[in-house]
Structure 1
């Protein structure tokens, strides 16, 4: 094994260890009355006399949200690194480019027309995410945008702002929609049943499997259309497949947990710093780091204002904003 391979294996082992540790911590701590001592006692097989509340809190509340954080984080991390490869832009991220906003808007519309927020509404979320993906691809082809990544982010911000404004009007007009969407719109992992976790996990797993088969083509595409064609790939076919899968992943994540921003930016940023820009090397680290970051943010959201909880989307915004500033400072800014 080469030195580079040894480093990659060591770093992957480190990330997996961190994820396992966060998983354990997530089961132990929460904002409710069940403390970590009781949770630890139950996990070690000594929970006979602890009562139903401890069992319910651990296995019906904390375990589903922990698994959902891992699934959603992995989907957003994978979506981020794929979007950045397709657009050849390190600022590309589902939350910043309007992809998550498209999925959220579609769910708001579905609930406004009579659907229930308790359902996943995956079809609506996928349709909205796909529309956002196609707009991102169209914007990336506009003259000047490809050379200036900040313009692409501004286009995404404009799209997100427009969809948010329309959603706000719908929430004002319909009290039922406002009641069902109030907490979900800023991202939340709590209160989701195992059925939602299982369904989101299957959809995310399917999307990741498709991307694994397309990693060589995506790596060639990151070098430019001419290089991709020279290597025997069809750039538009690769882009369309990638965006369809991104719509699937973002749609599943948004339907399950709401629009959670910055995971798709922070995870690929850290992965590239570790293993380099090639998506064949950075895909798995981005996926695992996305799970770690979202799970850590969820733990923080439970503990920072006990006995209440912060929406996890607020915590990820605090984590992602400094990273966004760091990435922007590395880009070539437009001159006046």
Structure 2
């Protein structure tokens, strides 16, 4: 005989109320992030060394005008804005995935050696192939990032440790080795160092319009793969044995998760350089305000990552007009205090 609301067990009532509160919180957070992102997109098109009025930006955005305002909006700031949105979305989703796959709340998209591998690719492109543009060395960065992540997985498999611990240790070890290689090459060649240091701080300045379009298909593949493995990662939280009883292959889920993380991190790092704290902070925020289901967290993570990344770029353009501070530096200044506040608040709650 079905239970009515009055006769429902107290535990079930509490669980239903908790789910309802989380759902409301998720909806409110999503609407707030969307509204904030829309404002930041307009600000990204308006601010810079030559500020533009918002009405002029809107008029130029939805027209084919080729005056000074139209050229600034369409040829300079719109590609930069789209690249920042792509990079932020990729980092946000990668941050949620890597913390779910490793079950480590301090895991960062750079944990698998992606940033270090991309750095080696950039240094090789500059020092040995004479590449000096973002559209030229983006594929070197991507190949380096993918190769580094693959090496981490291969090194972790025969370690005899649990999968997550082995990945963390292998990632740390490989990152240290690759960072040494980067320092050796850059210290031996001043020209390479001068070119590399602007990429290494993370920036969207002077990005070619074609960079985002070149990387978009790879980002889409990474996002689709992330959605596909999200359910398996949720089931792995219950334990490997129970996941197997539900028809889930833990090894396959971890390999597919690693492929998605590698694709997303490589896209972001090769397009803009290493951006610290974006994926780490987004994962913490999404867990606090988002749904418990990992697949439902991913859209919110993409929006939050895009918002934080683009906001870092806009703030960097505002605080040092007519010059600018790179987005990677601003993200570190924003992310470190916010992450510390989240950790301290969690401990005191």
Asked whether the 8 Å contact 1:91–1:328 carries over to 2, the reply is no
125-134 vs 189-198, which moves further? 125-134
Counterpart of 1:125? Answer: 141
Counterpart of 1:13? Answer: 31
Give unpaired runs (5+ residues) of structure 1: none
CA distance in 2, matches of 1:123, 1:222: 35
| Residue 244 of structure 2 is aligned to residue 229 of structure 1 | yes
Q: TM-score, normalised by structure 1?
A: 0.84
Alignment of 1:111-190 (within 5 A): 111-114=126-129, 116-118=131-133, 119=135, 121-134=137-150, 143=161, 152=168, 156=171, 159-190=174-205
Between structure 1 and structure 2, the one with the greater Rg is: 2
Q: Per the alignment, do residues 135 and 322 of structure 1 end up closer, same or farther by CA in structure 2, a change over 3 Å counting? A: farther
Counterpart of 2:271? Answer: 256
Alignment of 1:260-275 (within 5 A): 260-275=275-290
SS at 1:44's partner residue? helix
Counterpart of 1:79? Answer: 94
CA distance in 1, matches of 2:321, 2:227: 41
CA distance in 1, matches of 2:106, 2:188: 35
SS at 2:219's partner residue? helix
Q: Per the alignment, do residues 270 and 175 of structure 1 end up closer, same or farther by CA in structure 2, a change over 3 Å counting? A: same
SS at 1:306's partner residue? coil
Asked whether the 8 Å contact 1:95–1:262 carries over to 2, the reply is no
User: Shift in Å at residue 28 of structure 1?
Assistant: 1.1
Q: Per the alignment, do residues 123 and 26 of structure 1 end up closer, same or farther by CA in structure 2, a change over 3 Å counting? A: closer
Q: Per the alignment, do residues 43 and 329 of structure 1 end up closer, same or farther by CA in structure 2, a change over 3 Å counting? A: closer
Q: Per the alignment, do residues 98 and 324 of structure 1 end up closer, same or farther by CA in structure 2, a change over 3 Å counting? A: farther
Asked whether the 8 Å contact 1:120–1:256 carries over to 2, the reply is no
| Residue 303 of structure 2 is aligned to residue 288 of structure 1 | yes
Counterpart of 1:58? Answer: 73
User: Shift in Å at residue 67 of structure 1?
Assistant: 0.8
Asked whether the 8 Å contact 2:122–2:196 carries over to 1, the reply is no
Deviations 1:192-217 (A, max 9, x none): 12211212223212211122122211
Counterpart of 2:52? Answer: 36
Counterpart of 2:41? Answer: 23
Counterpart of 1:220? Answer: 235
Counterpart of 1:67? Answer: 82
CA distance in 1, matches of 2:145, 2:240: 24
CA distance in 1, matches of 2:239, 2:115: 26
Alignment of 1:293-304 (within 5 A): 293-304=308-319
Asked whether the 8 Å contact 1:80–1:268 carries over to 2, the reply is yes
Q: TM-score, normalised by structure 2?
A: 0.81
User: Shift in Å at residue 265 of structure 1?
Assistant: 0.3
Q: How many residues align?
A: 325
Q: Per the alignment, do residues 235 and 63 of structure 1 end up closer, same or farther by CA in structure 2, a change over 3 Å counting? A: same
User: Shift in Å at residue 134 of structure 1?
Assistant: 4.8
Give unpaired runs (5+ residues) of structure 2: 1-15
User: Shift in Å at residue 176 of structure 1?
Assistant: 4.0
243-252 vs 51-60, which moves further? 51-60
SS at 2:129's partner residue? coil
Counterpart of 2:3? Answer: none
CA distance in 2, matches of 1:27, 1:296: 12
CA distance in 1, matches of 2:104, 2:61: 52
CA distance in 1, matches of 2:170, 2:336: 18
Counterpart of 2:324? Answer: 309
* Higher helix residue share: 2
SS at 2:305's partner residue? helix
